[in-house]
Amino acid sequence: MKFTKLFIFLLVSVTQLSYPIPQYYCTSADKEHFELLLNLIGSIHKTNFGNLQEIAVFDLGFTKKQCKLLQTINKVQVYNLEKTNPQMFERMLTGPTRKVRGCFTWKPVAIKQGLELFPYMLYLDAGISVLQPLDTLFEHIENKGYFLVDCGHDIACRLTKNVLHNIINEQFSEHKHHLLSPNALSISAGMQGLSRKVYDDYVLPIYQLSSNISIFEDDGSSPLGLGAARHDQPLYSIYANIQNFDISLQGWIPLESKNNPLDPIHVHWDSQALLPETSIFISQNGMRYKFKDFIKFK
């Protein structure tokens, strides 16, 4: 009898232990952003290699040499993207001098394909750096279904007339008052933790919009003028608000788990606001960390 009770106690204790869950990452890059991509990979390898399962890299236009190098990196796989519109990989002028590939219509495709590969994942733009272990964040993504952070402004200031008329007025007119208010936060579309729980209502609708590049184009009609529209960002932000998703303010962010509260993580875009505990740095100058030195080759 005593042995049976001891066995049951040990069995319950073991099942209650929390083990780090597998980590899946997705990113996208081209030949111009290859060095930033290597920095991102190096930062993940340095901080999370043990629990890392795969970094899916979606090819927006690498050279053959760059592809060959990526194939030598541990836990990295390169994937082609479905071409949902004719201009998806073309460098297009957006703003007075800035050029971007396909007005970011490729990102909804990459995110959709990523969730067809993995049950959950953290999508990161190539300019981002991971500075700390992210075990608690991945547990949060798996349990809650998503993880989104704000980008410092509302939706309305970046809306083109095309998005206003064809998305908000045509599809979400009953939510227009909220979507155009200062309370409708815009998300940081370059960092999204997503699971298949949000595939049908969040991921798939924006993927379907990627076939119409005019929805993503900056035509100069946003309130802040040419160069201010953020292509995919307003679209993701609209759908996140429609779904009533929690959008965390950058800084210290509390996380959730099934049974216990998790330690908060620190996420920020401003290098002046970084702390020794910062987990993710959302920036285009991540190369200054020289994390590519930590890449583990096959």
Are 122 and 193 a contacting pair, CB within 8 Å? yes
pLDDT tens per residue, range 229-280: 889 999 999 999 999 999 999 999 999 766 667 789 999 988 888 899 999 9
| pTM for the full predicted model | 0.91
- Report CA-CA distances (Å) from 206 to 105, 110, 233, 234, 238: 9, 11, 11, 11, 10
Burial class (CB in 10 A: 0-12, 13-18, 19+), 80: exposed
Question: What whole-number distance in Å separates Cα of residue 148 and Cα of residue 246?
Answer: 7
Query: Strand pairing of 23-29 and 76-79?
Result: unpaired
In one-letter notation, the amino acid at residue 180 is L
pLDDT tens per residue, range 90-142: 988 776 777 889 999 999 999 999 999 999 999 999 999 999 999 999 999 99
Structural domains for the chain:
22-294 (3.90.550.10)
